[in-house]
Amino acid sequence: MKCPNCGTHNGEESNFCDHCGASLGGWSKTYTLKCLNCGTYNLDTNRFCRWCGLLLYHESAKVDHQKA
């Protein structure tokens, strides 16, 4: 995904630009598993955190976006 602010190409899973930090289109509701180690949000289908590699416990890490 190309950043509208600086033009940097970012991964499709990114919500913010890797280079300038600009928003790339908002919050993705598919990222509902919060890593208990580093706080990174992950896809429901991830078994391991995409940032720190910790094994994700799907039930305890699930976030309700209506309350968050």
Please report the pLDDT score of residue 61 as a whole number: 46
Mean predicted confidence (pLDDT) in 42-46: 81
DSSP assigned state of 8 = -
Q: Is residue 24 a contact partner of residue 1, using CB atoms and an 8 Å limit?
A: yes
pLDDT band at 34 (very low <50, low <70, confident <90, very high): confident
Mean predicted confidence (pLDDT) in 29-45: 81
Burial of 40 (0-12, 13-18, 19+ CB in 10 A): middle
Percent pLDDT > 90 in the chain is: 12
- pTM for the model stands at 0.45
Please report the pLDDT score of residue 58 as a whole number: 63
